[in-house]
Homo-oligomer: A and B are copies of this chain.
Amino acid sequence: MTPHATLARFRDYLVGPSRFMTLLSCFELGLIDALRGGRALSAAQLGTVAGARPDAVEQLLLLMVKEGFIAHDEQAGTYRLAGLAGVSDEDLDAVLADLAMIKAVTLRQLYYLTESVRTGTPAGLKELYGVDGDLYAALADLPELREPWAKLMNTVTAHVDPWFFATIDIPAGSQVLDLAGNTGLGAIHTWRMKQSPGLHVTNFDLPEKETESLANFRAHGVEDHCSFIGGDVFEEVPGGHDVILIKHFLPMFDKSDVLRILKAVHDALPAGGTVHALVPVFPENLADTENYTVDFYPSFFIGCAMGQGGPQKLSTWAEWFTACGFTVTQAVTHDPAELPAHALTVEAVLSAVKNP
């Protein structure tokens, strides 16, 4: 890479925040929705919709026109959708969920990234909200973070869970533990997608999740098949299960803590017991520019969520399982062709059996 090419690429980095918020603001102002009605509209008409001066509408739409998302008829002075015209409502909702989460949970917090790296804590949460813990603790008290976060996680889960459960085998009658299963959605999905006579799924998470988890089991009519155990994975993982699921949890931690978790899982399983993990991965060849995992997640986990953690290569996750007394039986990366084109995360399923 030449110095000139390096400097030219820096331009894309310099305009990263401004591009992000210009696009999101066009949604927030209702400009995109107004144009989705199909009529060509002037800046003055769009200004009325947005409660903004036409000059400001024109300014924000310049970038949308440059990108080809929106078209501008200079003679008529009107705008209409271009690239955005064919995007489905469902995809647009999903993009908007991404944009809203990134704004709420990362945009201002990233200002404190360097401090987060040095302290090993998400410093922005402390600065902005006075929160001492991590993002997941903060969500409970902060609806302005929780709501966009939950909306995003629901759209991601809707795509990922069917693939995850189609990829793993859970034998009939298994006793399953969903590690750090939050408020029980993973346990409910496990029952729904893998149900069999005798199958039982236990959600294991901090005791404060019990009430909402049990309420969710009742609301979904799975209370006979799903239960809750309160505890802390860094203290002890409860025994009595032959399958343990670890979804959306390992990338929250640095290597030393991942190994502690895997050793605790190992201790909790019988010989021959199985663990299935869902983990974000970056490609074995980092130069694969189609994988955006490292463009987003390192600064997300370190700066905005945990003060540590991040994605790994699938081969690294596999090494860590092997180092903790497991034999890896499958390691499958989600085919990017099956993901929405705007998806930032490439996930993998890693299944492993406890060595005898």
Q: Is A296 an interface residue (CB 8 A)?
A: yes
A4 to B3, CA, bound (A): 32
Distance from A204 Cβ to chain B, minimum over Cβ atoms (Å): 25
Number of copies: 2
**Contact between B1 and A106, CB atoms less than 8 A apart:** no
User: Which residues of B have CB within 8 Å of A88?
Assistant: 3
User: Which residues of B have CB within 8 Å of A120?
Assistant: 53, 56
- A268-312: CB near B (< 8 Å → 1, else 0) gives 000000000000001000110100101110111111000011100
A21 to B123, CA, bound (A): 14
Give which listed residue, B18, B65, B69, B298, contacts A296 with CB less than 8 A: B18
**Contact between A3 and B117, CB atoms less than 8 A apart:** no
Give which listed residue, B87, B108, B300, contacts A7 with CB less than 8 A: B87
Q: Is A235 an interface residue (CB 8 A)?
A: no
**Contact between A66 and B14, CB atoms less than 8 A apart:** no
A24 to B111, CA, bound (A): 10
Q: Which one of A164-172, A180-188, A336-344, A348-356 contacts B?
A: A336-344
User: Which residues of B have CB within 8 Å of A98?
Assistant: 10, 14
Q: Which residue of B lies closest to A258 (CB)?
A: B55
Q: Which of A1-40 contact B (CB under 8 A)?
A: 1-25, 28-29
User: Which residues of B have CB within 8 Å of A18?
Assistant: 16, 102, 106, 110, 295-296, 299-300
Give which listed residue, B87, B282, B295, contacts A19 with CB less than 8 A: B295
**Contact between B341 and A7, CB atoms less than 8 A apart:** yes
Give which listed residue, B99, B108, B286, contacts A65 with CB less than 8 A: B286
Q: Is A93 an interface residue (CB 8 A)?
A: no
**Contact between B29 and A114, CB atoms less than 8 A apart:** yes
Q: Is A52 an interface residue (CB 8 A)?
A: yes
In the complex, 28 of the A-B residue pairs with CB atoms within 8 angstroms, ordered by the A residue number, are A1-B68, A3-B83, A3-B91, A6-B68, A7-B341, A9-B83, A11-B344, A13-B20, A14-B99, A15-B295, A16-B16, A17-B102, A17-B106, A17-B107, A18-B106, A18-B110, A18-B300, A19-B295, A21-B113, A21-B303, A22-B298, A25-B303, A28-B114, A29-B118, A53-B254, A60-B299, A63-B294, A66-B289
